[in-house]
Amino acid sequence: MSDAPTSDPIRAGRGALGHLRVADFSRVLAGPMATMVLADLGADVVKVEQPGVGDETRTWGPPWWGDGEEAASTYYLGLNRNKRSIALDLRDPDDLDVASRIALGADVVVDNFRVGTMARFGLDRDSLAERRPDLITCSVTGFGSTGKGAELAGYDFLVQAMSGVMAITGRAEGEPTKVGSAVVDKLTGLYAAIAILAAVEERRVSGLGQHVEVSLMGSASGRATERGFEPCGGWHRPGSAGQPPPVHRPVSALSHGRRGTGRRGSQPVAVGEALYGAGPGGLAD
């Protein structure tokens, strides 16, 4: 599909990505996060869901928005705004034909099925590119599509542990701690959106599409940035960031006392005094 401006009233005036149509075969969090970012920027996202069930997060509640049969999971709503939806059973030949036409009519196809699932339905990049060489496809995986772990499903909490996110989370004297939110899924979704936008820009120059892949494990490991380089400075085993090294101050965790107590040099100082200028070194100084 051309990147040229369109006069289609559904797509016109939608935003920076109003010229893009996205076929979204993803579910739960990481994939829907990526396509929601694109939708928020104006892309026309068509979400393909399973008949009778839909994206399983439709049933994840409470809390719910609304009452009775019209009640909707706030989890689902929070990840699928600005999208259209269609229910198709990919195991049904007629429905699969519709899904194929949706994919071939899109600029971008996104999935987060297990490796090999899209190929089994003829919806992978190799199959679709025979008719649409300019098509961009994006797969979100747990551990990549080749090598050890490629066949495994990826779960946020599992990858938080395997990638070391838990090891640097929580209090210094405590056990590895899971981040309360599904931070790996969300980070992966953002990386996927960025990768898709890069592919769209490259297609503008070359006229060709490509397949991009983003994994939970790769995203979680890549997020280490400054902490990942600590061994270069002699920190051979990065620990919890609950009490980070001095370079991070004054953002260290503070405790003791109703208002909290920090330290100025070797002297304790009440947090309220430091912030509101009641003592030496406060903002009022």
State how far the Cα of 154 lies from the Cα of 163, in Å rounded to an integer: 12
Give the right CATH number for 21-225 from 3.40.50.10540, 3.30.70.20, 3.40.50.720, 3.50.50.60: 3.40.50.10540
Query: Which CA distances in Å does 89 have to 54, 108, 120, 153, 201?
Result: 10, 20, 14, 21, 33
Token pair belonging to 161? 């542990």
Domain ranges of the chain: 21-225
| pLDDT band of 198, cuts 50, 70, 90 | very high
Among 107, 124, 156, 185, the one annotated catalytic? 185
Residue 228: pLDDT over 70: no
Specify whether 40 is catalytic. no
52-89 pLDDT, tens per residue? 989 999 998 888 888 887 889 999 999 999 999 999 99
Q: What confidence score (pLDDT) does residue 252 get? A: 57
pLDDT averaged over the chain? 82
State how far the Cα of 7 lies from the Cα of 4, in Å rounded to an integer: 10
Residue 227: pLDDT over 90: no
